[in-house]
Amino acid sequence: MKAALCFLISYDHSLNKETLWKEWIEPNKDIINIYFHYKDYLKIKSPWIKKHALPFLTIQSTSYFHVVPAYLALMSFAQKQSRENVWFIMLTESCVPIISPHRFRRLFFENHAKSIVNWKQAWWNIDLVKRANLRCIKLEYHLANDPYFILKREDVSRCLEFPIYNNRLFKVICDGGVANESIFAIILYSYKQLDYVVRAATHAADWKRTSSPTSPHVFLKGDEQDILFIRDFLLENKYTMFLRKVHPNFPDDILRKFVSNLLPEDANSFNIYWKIKHKLCFLVSFFLLFYIFVLNSTLPYS
């Protein structure tokens, strides 16, 4: 089983905190795959990002208002590229991890069969605001979801299937703009799965100190307010793993303190879940060999 880190990058086509990401991934590299959707491959300077970039033919045209095709392209490629991918984590270049690798490992193994999506009823005036064209669809579909979340493999399949069998509804929603903040809750609701997701924030964002009417606070200074927000958000939200939006100049030492904070419940994660992973591999291999042995023993001699 693996978690697919699915990055949507644009602008200068880099990660704001690439070094920190690589340091954080390294202890869990046995359970993590990495994917990048980009706008212009020629703008990518990092060899590491190039190594994990999607093939050019899978890339979808995107903008701030119309990014759903890029989400689906990432999900589709990651799902096809590895059957081991069971958790699909949506991220941007401004996201950073804020929990320890130990905690991530525990959360993954305990929740790999669940989607974690923070959703609610749409709060905006649908007659004045055209986002997701909610005024054009049934009241029961007037839903909103955080733009970044985690989906289990089965729910990714549902997201990829929905545009095929509900193309008209899908197009109406996506034509409305910023559909990525509604469409995934709508899809899960349409498949009667929304009540089964873990309704929680996986990515912390400060909407009380907005950087613009449509964008959360940008973490730049690393002042007391920034530190207290991260600390309190983690205390109040047990499924939170990442922070957005983080400026490239945000102090690395602050982020490293958060990811090195080892909580008692996470301390034995590598010992416990390394054993589980390798025991499962052993059992699968054993039963496969046993099946082959039995099959060969029942075949008639030529």
47: amino acid identity, one letter: P
The predicted-structure confidence for 82-138, as pLDDT tens digits, reads as follows 999 999 999 999 999 999 999 999 999 999 999 999 999 999 999 999 999 999 999
Mean pLDDT across 25-36: 97
CA gyration radius for the chain?
A: 21
Percent of the chain with pLDDT over 90: 85
CB 119 within 8 A of CB 145: yes
- The average pLDDT across 200-224 equals 94
CA-CA-CA-CA torsion sign (236, 242, 244, 248): positive
What average pLDDT score do residues 10-23 get? 96
pLDDT of residue 283: 47
pLDDT score for 96 = 98
| pLDDT band at 289; cut points 50, 70, 90 | low
What is the rounded CA–CA span in Å between residue 189 and residue 201?
18
Given a cut of 90, whether residue 287 has pLDDT beyond it is no
> Residue 242 pLDDT more than 90?
yes
pLDDT exceeds cutoff 90 at 220: yes
Determine the pLDDT at residue 84.
97
What letter represents residue 109's amino acid? Answer: F
Residue 300, pLDDT > 80, answer: no
Helix (H, G, I), strand (E, B), or coil: what is residue 215? strand
CA nearest neighbour of 243 among 21, 35, 75, 88: 21
With beta carbons less than 8 A apart as the criterion, state whether 276 and 109 touch.
yes
What is the pLDDT averaged over residues 62-81? 94
pLDDT at 274 exceeding the cut of 90: no
| Pairwise pLDDT comparison (282 vs 123), residue with the higher score | 123
pLDDT at 292: 56
Contacts of 229 (CB under 8 A, 6+ apart): 204, 206, 217
Q: What is the pLDDT of residues 145-181, one digit of tens each?
A: 999 999 999 999 999 999 999 999 999 999 998 999 9
Average pLDDT of the chain is 92
Between CA 74 and CA 109, with CA 196 as vertex, the angle to 5 degrees is 65
CB 6 within 8 A of CB 75: yes
Contacts of 222 (CB under 8 A, 6+ apart): 250, 251, 254
0.75 exceeded by pTM? yes
Report the b/e string of 122-148 with b at 16+ CB within 10 A: beeebeeebbbbbeebeeebbbbbbbb
Nearest of 193, 210, 199, 81 to residue 150 by alpha carbon:
199
